[in-house]
């Protein structure tokens, strides 16, 4: 038992659906007490990764260890300690939500329904209604309550805020931060870039079944900074920008474009030796960074 190691440890995980590649040779660690965001275009393999961790899918090859246990052989023991919110789920339409949630609670071997009632109040979910009569957003809330009600130490969620109104989304982010403060580990996929930026500690980006990048959000934010574009009166030698903290340099004749992740002053002083025709500074957001993985083939 590696209580101090990663909570989730994915090594060379591959899952094929017949001829279709779901995920390919994925490596990812998720640490205790962090919120890990999982981004990627449609069909990239997020749901596949998550559902393989839960042993709902049989992996093709590789290894997943959760709490140091094997995701397949020790799946029962693991699921005792996991809360899961599926991306696409249903419940028993004819039964009241409370009955369904109590059933799921008892399956977890957890009898106290106090937290369930409290979560339902917090997210304004009426437990007396039949599940089938709920709106999409309220069904999603039932799923959220279900994932957290047994107080599990690891929560895995597939697009948790889908269908929630903006107010509820904010309430949910606040709730996630509280959960993290209590030492919970959270792994969640998302299509909402701002959401990942707002609540996650780290982000993993997957594209075409392969992991592209894993980064700390604050490190990314630091790096992001600004995009500087300068037009000179004649061709410029790229070596001018040989400065620490200047990244993604693109020089095209008289034009240069770069990301400034250092003090802007350094750069301005260096280029002042040349004649500048035009100069523009743009703040480059995390959104734009993420977007590069969605739009550009091959990713960033």
Ligand X SMILES: Nc1ncnc2c1ncn2[C@@H]1O[C@H](COP(=O)(O)OP(=O)(O)OP(=O)(O)O)[C@@H](O)[C@H]1O
Look at residues 207, 216, 227, 218 and name the one whose alpha carbon lies nearest to residue 267: 227
* Residue from the set 48, 52, 146, 185 that interacts with ligand X by CB under 6 A: 48
Summarize as ranges the residues that interact with another protein (CB under 8 A).
17, 47, 51, 54-58, 76-77, 79-80, 82-84, 86-95, 99, 103-104, 106-109, 143, 146-147
Tell which one of 15, 39, 45, 47 touches Mg ion (CB under 5 A): 47
User: Taking CB within 5 to 8 Å according to partner kind, which of ligand X, Mg ion, another protein, none is near residue 6?
Assistant: none
Residues contacting 260, CB < 8 A, separation 6+: 225, 226, 227, 228, 245, 246, 267
Picked from Mg ion, another protein, ligand X, none, the partner binding residue 77 (CB below 5 to 8 A depending on kind) is another protein
The residue within the footprint of ligand X, chosen from 2, 11, 12, 43 (CB under 6 A), is: 43
Nearer to another protein, 79 or 221 (CB): 79
279 interacts with, out of Mg ion, another protein, ligand X, none, CB within 5 to 8 A per kind: none
Q: Is 47 in the site for ligand X (CB under 6 A)?
A: yes
In the region spanning residues 56 to 95, those forming contacts with ligand X, defined by CB under 6 A, are 87
Rg (CA), the chain: 23
What are the C-alpha distances in Å from 285 to residues 194, 195, 228, 289?
10, 14, 13, 7
Contact between 46 and ligand X (CB under 6 A)?
A: yes
Count of residues that interact with ligand X, criterion CB under 6 A: 12
Segment interacting with ligand X (CB under 6 A) among 35-43, 93-101, 217-225, 238-246: 35-43
* Cβ 27 to ligand X shortest distance, Å: 17
Give the nearer residue to another protein in terms of CB position, either 19 or 265: 19
Contacts of 248 (CB under 8 A, 6+ apart): 257, 258, 259
If the CB atoms of residues 85 and 228 are measured against ligand X, the closer one turns out to be 85
137 is written with which tokens?
């957003």
Query: What whole-number distance in Å separates Cα of residue 95 and Cα of residue 102?
Result: 11
Cβ proximity to another protein, 56 vs 264, nearer residue: 56
Interacting residues with ligand X (CB under 6 A): 17, 20, 22, 40, 42-48, 87
């Amino acid at each position: 038992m590696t209580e101090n190691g990663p909570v989730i440890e994915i090594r060379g995980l591959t899952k094929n659906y017949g001829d279709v590649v779901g995920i390919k040779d994925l490596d990812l660690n998720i640490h205790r007490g962090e919120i890990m965001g999982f981004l990627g275009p449609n069909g990239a393999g997020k749901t596949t990764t998550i559902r393989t961790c839960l042993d709902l899918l049989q992996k093709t090859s590789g290894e997943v260890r959760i709490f140091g246990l094997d995701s397949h052989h020790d799946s029962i023991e693991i699921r005792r300690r996991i809360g899961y919110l599926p991306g696409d789920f249903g419940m028993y339409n004819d039964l009241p939500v409370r009955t369904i949630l109590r059933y799921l609670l008892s399956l977890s071997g957890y009898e106290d329904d106090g937290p369930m009632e409290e979560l339902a109040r917090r997210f304004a979910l009426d437990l007396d209604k039949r599940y089938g009569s709920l709106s999409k957003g309220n069904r999603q809330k039932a799923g959220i309550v279900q994932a957290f009600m047994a107080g599990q130490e690891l929560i895995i969620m597939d697009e948790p805020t889908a269908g929630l109104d903006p107010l509820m989304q904010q309430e949910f982010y606040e709730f996630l931060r509280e959960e993290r403060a209590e030492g919970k580990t959270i792994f969640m996929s998302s299509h909402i870039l701002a959401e990942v930026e707002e609540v996650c500690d780290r982000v993993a980006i997957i594209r075409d079944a392969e992991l592209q990048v894993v980064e700390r959000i604050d490190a990314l934010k630091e790096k992001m900074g600004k995009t500087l574009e300068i037009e000179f009166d004649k061709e410029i030698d790229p070596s001018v920008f040989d400065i620490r903290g200047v990244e993604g340099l693109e020089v095209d004749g008289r034009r240069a474009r770069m990301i400034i992740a250092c003090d802007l002053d350094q750069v301005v002083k260096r280029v002042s030796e040349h004649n500048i025709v035009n100069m523009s500074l743009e703040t480059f957001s995390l959104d734009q960074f993420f977007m590069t993985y969605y739009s550009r083939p091959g990713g960033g």
